[in-house]
Amino acid sequence: MGSKVGEFRKKLKIVDVKGGPNEGLDRVGLMIVVAGWVRTLRAQSSVTFIEVNDGSCLSNMQCVMTSDAEGYDQVKSGLITTGASIWIQGNVVPSQGSKQKVELKVNKIVLVGKSDPSYPIQKKRVSREFLRTKAHLRPRTNTFGAVARVRNALAYATHKFFQENGFIWISSPIITASDCEGAGEQFCVTTLDFFEKPAFLTVSGQLNAETYATALSNVYTFGPTFRAENSNTSRHLAEFWMIEPELAFADLKDDMACATAYLQYVVRYILDNCKEDMDFFNTWIEKGIIDRLSTVAERDFVQLSYTDAIELLIKAKKKFEFLVKWGCDLQSEHERYLTEEAFGGCPVIVSDYPKEIKAFYMRQNDDGRTVAAMDMLVPRIGELIGGSQREERLEYLEGRLDELKLNRDSYWWYLDLRHYGSVPHAGFGLGFERLVQFATGVENIRDAIPFPRTPGSVEF
Amino acid sequence: MGSKVGEFRKKLKIVDVKGGPNEGLDRVGLMIVVAGWVRTLRAQSSVTFIEVNDGSCLSNMQCVMTSDAEGYDQVKSGLITTGASIWIQGNVVPSQGSKQKVELKVNKIVLVGKSDPSYPIQKKRVSREFLRTKAHLRPRTNTFGAVARVRNALAYATHKFFQENGFIWISSPIITASDCEGAGEQFCVTTLDFFEKPAFLTVSGQLNAETYATALSNVYTFGPTFRAENSNTSRHLAEFWMIEPELAFADLKDDMACATAYLQYVVRYILDNCKEDMDFFNTWIEKGIIDRLSTVAERDFVQLSYTDAIELLIKAKKKFEFLVKWGCDLQSEHERYLTEEAFGGCPVIVSDYPKEIKAFYMRQNDDGRTVAAMDMLVPRIGELIGGSQREERLEYLEGRLDELKLNRDSYWWYLDLRHYGSVPHAGFGLGFERLVQFATGVENIRDAIPFPRTPGSVEF
């Protein structure tokens, strides 16, 4: 009674064999075990080729088998088909084929779990629309496996960037009685009268992050947020992840510099660490994406005021669907024109927007009509980041709440931050799935998150 | 028009000055700027001492000022009080006092934001109960600042551990139509008929994680989960963060080894990286916590079966409130007895529980009455981690659903994983706030999360 628990050892994955600089040639001669799922099986007269994938990287392990391999009868009898899980022992040998440097010469194969003939992800290409109805199986495709790995890398790079720069991760609450934007439709949470007052799903952790920033200086949130907007587009999710840093003793310039450094860091990170997946996107999803991202990682971003942006759009030779006029919000077509055409693919930061089109908490500029807001626009996506310096002056903030007929009492704790040691502070919000779209080229935001929630869609 | 954005540079924080191995002595002679909040101010006849904190570490910067410093009139007139935010320029000098190695000789002080006399966090000690009503200001206290930093370190260490071991972070959905545990009370989400069917807040991301594990091999979730249990205890939250790794081609032994390695990694990480905060907890919150955690980081964990655990509890000289009997779940008192008394403070992993007290998805053992489940018990907390090998055999899983009168159709996608290339797999769940309690010694789980949600409490 009371035995000891053995050491945790990572099992060998395909990426450990083929992921090195010489794509596995240094492993030649080793006897290894690979466990994964069959992508394809080709039986020729004397030899059978099985492509096995374990999700650790895009590459399959090509396994070559002759009739003397142990377990060959399972192959011969047709039990091992696409989608089946197998366990293969073999020797790493140089590959005869041109697609890979090494392959596995099989000594032994074990069928772990067979795959029904109804397996919906056969070799022939299936549409991404169809795959959304199979969200539980789509990570077994090249595209969704790659998206999952790059999404993971972007998340980890996000944590690395902020941790290396002294930011503290804060979990802002999901269930809340507040409405940060004072506008967005919120989901209501009910279970009898559990909370004894109306409770909603958060639209942003910013107000909460401000309370921690004004104690710990620099913080960030990374968690799910919600919008009950009934918009069935390729750009909107009802549930999405947000990254919201908040910097104390900082102004809009610091905020823009932080957003720039952040984006360049995470883009550089995936270019350096997800080469195989990025090559796949570059070939199959969006030609030129690697060049586009390299530009972002290397170039200085352009910065101009909203007023200048409006002037530039008015002078543009392009016909826009929506009106360009000082006081109106920029539409996606305007944003994309600025970053894609006016500044040739370079991210553009537009600042100092009219106060009427921005949230109550943004700091009023001295001109009395604009606020210290900034949006970062990037090619293909338009607005990727939205930020601002926050109004740290109590009288201005209260005045703005009154103007917008928002109830001061609901914001008592937020106003308290201006009663007790208020400081200039600033932050921004970034929708993580937009970043995944930007970094992978997938067109529909529903393909940038494992289990998308949209109007009418809550399956899985 | 179109200027360039400047470089993001981290501003100097107190931790950058005092956080080094010689506590700032290498900075002596440097002129620096510190920005933060006044913790205390002591005016003596010829010299004034101001303790400033910026949240970057537990330590304040002691600032020493004489009447020739610029801005001294603001000090003299009483404008600068506890809670005010200030900006101080000065020279780092060796400290006369015994509490710190260096202090700041002030050249210039600027009041950034004054603090109302009503500031609730004055020097005198305030209760943690009171501070829960001031959740927006409590991170400005030593205890909650330290908890926030250690919580952050635990989160980052979690990501580091899994990333270094080849796990992919997956975001499991928050809004869901499924009920993983088939038991827990769930919060309902409503907004007209947005999702066209009943929608709830997730109680666990495990079933979703299994879909990705059976494609990518090793994955983990780290996100919020919810329980609508109406229990007003110091151990329960309605909203809490969970970490749920899932390992493909793995059994219960692999699962236990992973859980052990994970816990030892994160505990070692905070002992190495949060020394000042851990010393604070050791002195003020739980004497001996550093020894307790060092034991966990270094010792082999004990492993025994549920059946053996019951036998051991029956033989124990201790009187328990709850019945000890094969078939009954272990209560907190039993769990703590095992880890704290029977095995002297060493974590204990209990495995192979009766199937009747465990969830439907756990793998049935050959004895027909137990399942391949494991709970990791640690001192002070009891159950910190709960995991299992999952039932990968379709017929057993369907049989169990039927026995429990759960509807097979609701689990169609979960069953699909057993139709197509099923593999042995295992995982566990860890309540992050329990880990924070375990690592900091704070007694009430409401003090282990920035904004706790409990029955009747949804403020902030």
Give the number of domains in chain A: 2
Per-residue pLDDT tens for A270-311?
999 999 999 999 999 999 999 999 999 999 999 999 999 999
pLDDT at residue B11, as a whole number? 84
**Nearest-angstrom CA–CA distance, B66 and B47:** 5
Spatial neighbors of A209 by CB under 8 A, at least 6 apart, are A170, A172, A219, A220, A221, A244, A245, A246, A427
Average pLDDT over residues B245-251: 98
Place B2 in a pLDDT band, splitting at 50, 70 and 90. Answer: low
Cα distances (angstroms) measured from residue A368 to each of A80, A457, B1, B43, B321:
72, 44, 22, 41, 68
Q: Does B216 contact A191 at a Cβ distance shorter than 8 Å?
A: no
Cβ density class A164-194: b for 16+ within 10 Å, e for less: ebbbbbbbbbbbbebbbebebbbbebebeeb
**B417 to chain A, closest Cα gap in Å:** 8
Residue B291 lies in a domain: yes
User: Looking at the domain assignment, is residue B393 inside a domain?
Assistant: yes
pLDDT in tens, B194-239: 888 889 999 999 999 999 999 999 999 999 999 998 888 999 999 9
DSSP per-residue letters across A4-72 = EPPPP-PPP-HHHHHSSTTTTGGGTT-EEEEEEEEEEEEE-SS-EEEEEE-SSSSPPEEEEE-TTSBTH
pLDDT digits (tens, 9 = 90+) for B312-351: 999 999 999 999 999 999 999 999 999 999 999 999 999 9
Mean pLDDT of B182-190: 76
What is the tens place of the pLDDT at every residue in B91-107? 999 998 889 999 999 99
CB pairs under 8 A between A and B: 386
CA distance B123 to A265: 41
Nearest one of A420, A333, A34 to B80, comparing CA atoms: A420
Q: What are phi and psi of A113, to 5 degrees?
A: -145, 125
Residues B105 and B149 in one domain: no
Alpha carbon of residue A75 to chain centroid: 40
SS3 A376: strand
> What is the per-residue pLDDT across B11-47, written as a single tens digit (0 to 9) for each?
899 999 999 889 999 999 999 999 999 999 999 889 9
Cα B170 to its chain centre, rounded Å, is 19
One domain for residues B144 and B201 = yes
> Do A275 and A243 share a structural domain?
yes
| Closest A-chain CA to B114 | A421
Per CB-CB distance under 8 Å, the chain A contacts of B6 are 253, 257
Predicted pLDDT at A184:
60
Q: Which domain holds residue B327?
A: 138-447
A395/B contact by beta carbon, under 8 A = no
Let me know whether B197 and B334 are in one domain.
Answer: yes
Contact B241 A300 (CB under 8 A): no
- CA-based nearest residue to A425, from A390, A401, A378, A377: A390
The β-bridge relationship of strands A218-226 and A168-170 is parallel
Closest residue by Cα to residue A263 from A147, A148, A379 = A379
pLDDT in tens, B273-307: 999 999 999 999 999 999 999 999 999 999 999 99
Judged against a pLDDT cut of 80, whether residue B124 lies above it is answered with no
Q: Flag whether pLDDT at A23 surpasses 90.
A: yes
Contact: A7, B261; criterion CB under 8 Å? yes
B222: nearest CA in chain A? A223
Judged against a pLDDT cut of 80, whether residue B181 lies above it is answered with no
Judge if A332 and A420 occupy the same domain.
yes
Closest among B206, B221, B263 to B390, alpha carbons compared = B206
- CB atoms under 10 Å from CB of B356, counted, come to 13
B5 and A349 within 8 Å at the Cβ level: the answer is yes
C-beta separation of B248 from B218 below 8 A: yes
Residue A6: pLDDT band (50, 70, 90) is low
Residue from B110, B451, B454, B457 whose CB has the most chain A CBs within 10 Å, to mutate: B451
Q: Which residues contact A131 (CB under 8 A, 6 or more apart)?
A: A121, A137, A138, A141, A144
Q: Are residues A192 and A318 in the same domain?
A: yes
Q: Which residues of A touch B176 (CB under 8 A)?
A: 458, 460
Contact status of A190 with chain B (Cβ, < 8 Å): yes
Q: With a CB-CB cutoff of 8 Å, which residues 157-176 of chain B face chain A?
A: 159, 163, 165-166, 168-176
The answer, for A75 touching chain B at a CB cutoff of 8 Å, is no
Q: Please, which residues 264-323 of chain B have a Cβ atom closer than 8 Å to chain A?
A: 300-304, 308, 311-312
- Residue B179: pLDDT band with limits 50, 70, 90: low
Query: Distance between CA B59 and CA B53 in Å, rounded?
Result: 7
Compute the distance between CA of residue B341 and CA of residue B403 in angstroms, rounded to an integer. 38
How many CA atoms lie within 13 Å of A394's alpha carbon, on the beta-carbon side?
14
Per the domain annotation, does A149 fall within a domain?
yes
- The yes-or-no verdict on residue A342 having pLDDT over 90 is yes
* Helical residues (DSSP H) of A52-141, grouped into ranges: 72-76, 128-132
Mode of pairing for the β-strands spanning B85-94 and B31-43: antiparallel
CA–CA distance, A29 with A94 (Å, rounded to integer): 9
Classify residue A233: in a domain, yes or no.
yes
Best to test chain A binding among B7, B8, B428 (most A CBs inside 10 Å):
B8
For strand B199-201 and strand A199-201, is the pairing parallel, antiparallel, or unpaired?
unpaired
Between the two ends of chain B, the Cα-to-Cα distance in Å is 41
Residues A80 and A194 in one domain: no
CATH (domain of A383): 3.30.930.10
Interface of A with B in 336-355 (CB under 8 A): 343, 349
Task: State the distance between the two ends of chain A, measured CA to CA, in whole angstroms.
Answer: 41
User: Tokens 């039986």 map to which residue?
Assistant: A43
* Interatomic CA distance for residues B289 and B282, integer angstroms: 5
Does residue B79 fall inside a structural domain? yes
Residues A104 and A177 placed together within one structural domain of the fold: no
Q: Which of residues 356-385 of B touch A (CB under 8 A)?
A: none
Q: What ipTM does this complex have? A: 0.96
Neighbours of A57 (CB within 10 A): 22
Q: Which of B118, B189, B254, B260 to mutate to test the interface with A (most CBs of A within 10 A)?
A: B189
- pLDDT tens, residue by residue, B430-439: 999 999 999 9
Helix (H) or strand (E) holding B52: strand B48-53
Residues of A with CB below 8 A from B159's CB?
155-156, 159
Do A219 and A262 touch, CB atoms closer than 8 A?
no
* Domain annotation covers residue B2: no
A175 is a domain residue = yes
Same domain, A177 and A318: yes
One domain, residues A163 and A258: yes
Averaged pLDDT score across all residues of chain A: 94
Which residue is closest to B457 within chain A, CA to CA?
A: A195
Please indicate, yes or no, whether residues B400 and B429 belong to a single structural domain of this protein: yes
Distance CA A234, CA B38 (A): 49
A112, A135, A169, A228 from B413: Cα distances, Å: 20, 9, 34, 26
Q: How far apart are CA B459 and CA A411, in angstroms?
A: 10
Q: For residue A310, give the chain B residue with the closest CA.
A: B1
Report whether pLDDT(A333) > 80.
Answer: yes
Nearest to A447 by CA among A307, A266, A281, A292: A281
**End residue of a domain, out of A65, A86, A119:** A119
Q: How confident is the model over A74-91, as a mean pLDDT?
A: 95
Whole-structure pTM value? 0.97
User: What is the Cα–Cα distance from A52 to A23, expressed in whole angstroms?
Assistant: 16
Has residue A355 been placed in a domain? yes
What CA dihedral angle connects B119, B120, B122 and B126, to 10 degrees? -170
Residues A155 and A84 both lie in one domain: no
Hey, how many other C-beta atoms are within 10 angstroms of the C-beta on B272? 12
Q: How far apart are CA A37 and CA A32, in angstroms?
A: 16
Cα-based torsion angle of the residue sequence B202, B204, B206, B211 in order, rounded to the nearest 10 degrees: 10
Domain containing residue B51: CATH number? 2.40.50.140
* Closest to B60 in 3D by CA, of B78, B87, B34, B79: B34
Q: Residue A232 has what pLDDT? A: 86
Say if CB B101 and CB B71 are below 8 A apart: no
Task: Decide if A177 and B414 are in contact by the 8 Å CB cutoff.
Answer: no
